[in-house]
Structure formats: structure tokens, C-alpha cells
Structure 1
């Protein structure tokens, strides 16, 4: 098996499998296509244009991602919202990575009155900057994984810890959010996806990180890290976000996704059927 490592969409990728040069070219083209359509950090992306003037994003990802966002918003009572970009920018996580925080800004509560979508188009009736960070990387992992369906043998597509596996079991550590040299547990994946989220990733100041409650524009403080295991990476990524809020476990159950999450004071819990082996015992 060969390992192909590269940087894209602000993270490190590792793809393990018997890829040819043509496979690599197709993967890079697909990642670039997704980035040009959905990255709010690119001045030439479609979502940046919609953020400035409204209009539409023509994309094969529109329906799948916005349908999932509708479920996320319903499950979390509006805590997850695809129009959270301005809330992130207010805290310094903007297109220029200024990392200079101002007052928190709640995301628009009525986002479904601004955005409409079909399977292949999302339209904003007014300027609205879309952020797909709650599930976009998982969606892209799935796209790359599907693109490589004809590659023989085992396959691992790993985008900065959000990964999908085909074939032989892969043993993955669950990184401790307060000490990245340690793990709070391990899980073996076979023909499955694992996605994680943590407040120590994309953090830039005291209490400032990328996981916000869209209703307030303020970073979450109860949960420190989440892991979600499912059949596809987009839904696992979405649940990893939802688990920071009440309603996350219910959405996981609805979608058939197992999970682990850890509080900021060091307690860990998991779903009843979760296959992960945890090194931390749940406290009463």
C-alpha cells in the first residue's frame, strides 16, 4: 500500500491505496472544484460572491449539504446554522484570518427564508455568506472516496482526521483535546467513516475557537471534543458538530451514528453501541 500526502483546503490529507497518476489528478481536481464553490476563504469562490450580492451557487453538493443542515438546525434548536460565517468573522475567524475578536454576532435565525435549494442549486434571496464547516469536509471526503471506488484493494481517505475506510480494519486513536500527544481511546474502523471536532483545533485566543452557538455567536464551553462513526463521512461530520449541543445524540440515533464526546472538565461519554474503547471512565 502506498501513502499519498498533500495539503489542501487548509488541512493535511493522506490517502492510502494503490492510486495511479490519473487517480491523483482526479482527486486534486475534485478538491479544487469543491473549494472554488464552497470556500468562504477564497475571494473567487461562488459562496463569496453570494455573500456579497446574493444569487446562486450551482453545485452537485447543494441539496445533500443543505438538507443535512436543515436536520442539524432542527435537532439543535438552531444552534447549527449555515449562515454562521459572519458570526465566525466577528470573532476573528474571517477570510483574512485576522484573529482579532470583536463583539459576538448571532447568525440569522430565519436562514431558511433566505436560502432555498434543489439537488444542484442553492439560491440566496439577499447577500448571505454560507459556511459549510459543520459538514463540508466530511462531504468532500465522501466525494474523494467515491471517486476512487475503482482503486483495487484497501483504501483510506483521511482529511485532517476526518476519514473514511474501505477494506481491512484501521485502528484510530481519539486525540485528547488538551494533550495532543495522548488519546482518550481507540476505535477500529472497517468500511466506515470517523469524523471528529474539538475546541483546541482552529482556536486563536482565550475561549475563542470555531465551534459557535449560532443563536448567540459565542463559542461553546461545555463540550471539548466529539467523535462520530457512521457509514459516510458527511453525516458523521455533521453529528460531530451536533454533539456539542443538546439534540446531538438524538440526531445521531436517527442517522444510525455511534459517538463519543468529552466535556471541558474531562468527563467522557459515548453512545450505547459505540465500538470505541475508552481510556477514561465516565464519572457520576
Structure 2
């Protein structure tokens, strides 16, 4: 079968993990060993990086514990955070956890918003993730939400390779990786979930999206914060990115809420679409998405 040809993925495994719904489509039904392998890597990721678990490594660090052993994904994610943070002039920052807590998106889901809190701007000097240890110069809450789910999609897909022969779609509620096949994916309108602003055909790549209407808990309160102010972004409604890995696509879907995200996407060889809160749609030059809107521009 030629590369990129459509492969019928007849078997579906659906489950909930890390607070979101997963769907994995494969040619053949995944055996128990494969599902156990996926469960293991998801469990390990959650136990390291979940700020909603009091027993996680990041919660331990936030309470002043540590240093702790470097989790398997630390270098990949925190190295990427450095690039994204630099590109966005500090708008994206892994120490934004306390900022989210302040607005009510905390471990208890209190949803009671206090005054905004800026994240520490000097995070690269406060977070150390080398020499087999993850440590903080002083207690703080790490939140990897800007790219963590994408990273986990990549890890799950890799864990399942012995049983998928490289032909699968791993979808964690909109952050997905397509391998060995082609998939047409609708781009959900952020103001009306029953509509799409376009369709994107993805082959052997990842597509990740971020939207202000997802993980929103009050008037103007949602999960995409400007770390420099602790205030949710007001000008961008949704982003979609196709990149070589789900981690990069997820990171760029966050970065595109800010100035500098488009330049980083160009450096990483990614394509993107962005919808502003005024309804205007922008996309990267050469973007292959089929868009239905007329109010648009090439960035």
C-alpha cells in the first residue's frame, strides 16, 4: 500500500484518562497486553505531572519536596517549553500552575476566581531538570498543560507500535496523532460545536487544537493564560496546528494565542489555523486545510 493511502481502521478502543476522553483506532483489535502497555505509560505520566494529584511529583515539588528523579518526559517537555517561552516573550511558562489555581482551576476544582497572579518570569533559572533530578530553586507548581497532553499522545502511540504496525489514530479529545493512514478531521467552530470552520486531511502527522471555550469555568475564565499577567487570553478563540509530533502541535496550539507563535511554527515546519474572537480566521502560508470561511487572511 503506498505511503499515505487510506487504511481502514476498523477497531476502536475508548476510555477516560487524565481527565479527558481517549479514542484509539487501529486495524486490528488491541489485545490485553497492548492496553496494559498504554495504561502503564498513561499512569506513569499522570503520577509525575498531574497537579490535581496530591501524590504526584509536581505536587511534591510544590510543597517544597525534592529534588525528585527526573521523569522520562521531563527533558523533552521542558526543553520545548524553553523554546516556546522564548518565542512568546514569556507568555508561555510551566510555572503557571499557581496562576491557574488563583483563578479557580485548582486541584479541588473550586472554580472560585481570585485576583490574577503572574507566573515567575525567571522560570528557566528556578527549574532544573538535568543530572537525573528535577528540582525547583523554591516551591512552585509546574503545569505542563501547554504541551503535556500532546506529549502523552506521542508516548501512547509509541507504546502501541508493536501491536499497530504503525497504523493507528491516537486521539485524546482533539489532540491526535495519525500514523500509516490519512484522516479528514473537522475543525470545530469555537462558538458553535455543531459547526466546523473547515476540514484538514492529516497523514502521518499530528493535529492539535486549543480553544477558549474548552476548560472554561466562568465569564472570560479559561485555561489559556498569559503567564506574564495571569489573565486569560481575550483576542484568540481557537487554534489548530499540524506538526510532526503531537507535543509540538500541542505546544504551538498554545503559542499561537500569543505574538511569536507563528514564527516558531515556521521554524518547526508546522502549519496552522487561528480564529480570533472577532470571528476573523488566519492561517499559515501554504496551509493545506480546507477552510469554509471568507473572512480570513494568510499570515
TM-score, structure 1 as length reference: 0.97
Match in the other structure for 2:18 = 9
1:128-158 CA distance string (max 9 Å, x none): 1100000000000000011112223620000
Match in the other structure for 1:122 = 134
Count of residues paired in the alignment? 284
1:119 and 1:276 mapped to 2: Cα distance?
42
2:166 and 2:80 mapped to 1: Cα distance?
31
* Unaligned 5+ runs, structure 1: none
Match in the other structure for 2:171 = 158
Match in the other structure for 2:155 = 143
Which of 37, 40, 48 in structure 1 is aligned with 2:59? 48
Give the superposition deviation at 1:116.
1.3
Matches within 5 A, 1:201-220: 201-220=214-233
241-250 or 117-126, which deviates more: 117-126
1:22 paired to 2:64: no
Aligned-residue CA RMSD in angstroms? 1.2
* Unaligned 5+ runs, structure 2: 1-9
1:272 and 1:63 mapped to 2: Cα distance?
31
TM-score, structure 2 as length reference: 0.93
Matches within 5 A, 1:261-280: 261-280=274-293
2:181 and 2:266 mapped to 1: Cα distance?
26
1:152 and 1:36 mapped to 2: Cα distance?
28
1:211-240 CA distance string (max 9 Å, x none): 000000000001000001011000110000
